[in-house]
Amino acid sequence: MDAIRIHGGTPLQGEIVIGGAKNAALPLMAAALLSDEALTLANMPELADISTMSNLLRQLGVRIDQSALGAGEDDPSAGATRRTMTLKTDNIASVTAPYDLVRRMRASVLVLGPLVARHGEAKVSLPGGCAIGTRPVDLHLKALEQLGAKIELKQGYVHATVPKRLKGARINFPMVTVGGTENAMMAAALAEGETIIENAAREPEIANLAECLNAMGAQVSGGGTGTIKIKGVERLNAGRVAVIPDRIETGTYAIAAAITRGNVKLSGTRYDMLDAVFDAMRQAGVSVEDVDGGIVVSAKDRLRGIDVMTEPFPGFPTDMQAQWMALMATADGASMITETIFENRFMHVPELTRFGADVNVHGASAIVRGSAQLSGAPVMATDLRASVSLVLAGLAAKGETLVNRVYHLDRGYERLEQKLAACGADIERVGGS
Ligand code: EPZ
């Protein structure tokens, strides 16, 4: 199995081009099930999770064509190869999302809303537990029930049916759920009448989905705010939309620059999607500048420990929590990191302590007492963001680090080692143990 080997200690210098957002691309791909006409998605990232979603959609009857565009062809500011994907679902060939795919990638559950809305039936495996928490899908199911779907749970599968058409409804989520909001939006787009989603997730990925649905002829307003209104239409048409830049990839490389006390320009991305992270970085003593064509992140010598608490957007993202912890392990003083979204998202802590980080977990909070110098170690993690936090610690640590279970990284970071190596990091992929 592959591993990433790092010799840490080099301040990163240079430019990193940010790709399209995994967590925006996945629901946009699922939206292709809503229409028999072609949906074209620009700025698609090339990631393992995108391949998994493509495999699932092909099983359901979606035809997928991909093309790579040369630098600047599609987006003049990109400066990198950008991929475009066209998805066309003439007929729904199957309504089943099997256990094997759903357990590998929970976002598979996003086919539920579109399938039941367009075809009147969906059979989707319940995802089961996950490395970061129990992550139930009860709120997705309740929202679909409110739209008129009949939900039965049989042999580990959710069977959703509706005899005719879903009906618009008022859905008030008791807690913010990104995937639940996305499933409800896609289902409501083809429902009869108006749907109002209250306490909707406000993540930029939701606004991107609203933009996509509208490009296909839907009538969605308020995407990206707490209240989304959707006037259902009878059919959706062809559409084209660009996937937004990946804010978590942006934040991860911003921390890579800071943790190595380097100077990196992040291009092809947007500052406004990461205010909470950049505010915390500034307070810690990192320089973050919103410049033409990107964001310049640089740090020198000592950083300060800063407390953060994860929250739904626009708060500090849970998907940046592990990376923040790695940075705080190199800062002066203590910092308290509180995780409020997932109940089991400190799996990186025992691995970070292998670098010499001083971290104590008390319930939903971790206290990090910064130490000036981490030292490299063989490590592995159980999920994507935890794994990348170990890469970040390895970049700052003295000596050699071997990060095992690279497949986690390949789910969400495109050409990770190439992007870091281009900024001077001593990093390579090797055949691991
Ligand atoms: C999305 O997951 C992201 N995934 C996650 O990114 C991200 O961590 C998460 O949002 C929070 O920002 C994708 O977009 C594909 P939620 P999602 O529904 O939609 C509870 C990464 O590393 N909940 O907003 O599954 C749930 O257990 C990943 O890229 C219910 O109780 O997250 C959690 O505690 C990991 N019932 C909270 O809500 C439900 O029906 C928020 O989950 C649904 C959710």
What's the pTM value of the predicted model, to 2 decimals? 0.96
298 pLDDT exceeds 90?
Answer: yes
Strands 157-161 and 150-154: antiparallel
Ramachandran area for residue 102 (φ above 0: left; ψ -120 to 50: alpha; else beta): alpha
Task: Tell me the two tokens of residue 134.
Answer: 């129990």
Query: CA 229 to CA 164: how far, in whole Å?
Result: 22
Strands (E) in 263-318, as ranges, are 263-267, 287-291, 294-298, 308-309
Who lines ligand 1 at CB under 6 A? 23, 26, 106-107, 133, 135-140, 175, 177-180, 318-319, 341-342, 384-385, 412
* CA 431 – CA 433 distance, rounded (Å): 7
Atom of ligand 1 nearest to the CA of 133: 27
Cis peptide before 317 (omega within 30 of 0): no
Ligand 1: which of 106, 135, 274, 384 to mutate, most ligand atoms within 8 Å of CB? 135
> Atom of ligand 1 at shortest distance to CA of 341?
34
Reduce the DSSP state of residue 194 to 3 states and report it.
strand
Give mean pLDDT, residues 110-114. 98
Strands 63-69 and 365-369: unpaired
The confidence score (pLDDT) of residue 314 equals: 98
Residue nearest to atom 31 of ligand 1 (CA): 136
pLDDT at 223: 98
> What's the CA gap between 288 and 279, in Å, rounded?
9
Whole-angstrom distance, CA of residue 28 vs CA of residue 185: 12
pLDDT value of position 134: 77
- Pocket test residue of 23, 47, 111, 172 for ligand 1, highest count of atoms within 8 A of CB: 23
Q: What is the position in ligand 1's atom list of the atom closest to the CA of 175? A: 38
| pLDDT mean over 405-414 | 93
User: For residue 343, which atom of ligand 1 is closest to its CA?
Assistant: 34
The rounded Å distance from CA 306 to ligand 1 centre is 25
Q: How many helices (H) and strands (E) does the chain have?
A: 14, 24
Cβ partners under 8 Å of residue 255, min gap 6: 281, 320, 323, 324, 326, 327, 392
Least confident stretch, 64-78, 148-162, 367-381, 400-414: 64-78
Q: What is the mean pLDDT of the chain?
A: 94
- Residue tagged active-site, from 42, 64, 130, 421: 130
Q: Is the pLDDT of residue 69 over 80?
A: no
The CA-based angle 338-340-342, given to 5 degrees, is 115
Confidence at 381, pLDDT banded by 50, 70, 90:
confident
Please confirm, yes or no, whether 212 is among the known catalytic residues.
no
Contact partners, residue 2, CB within 8 Å, separation at least 6: 406, 407, 429, 430, 431, 432
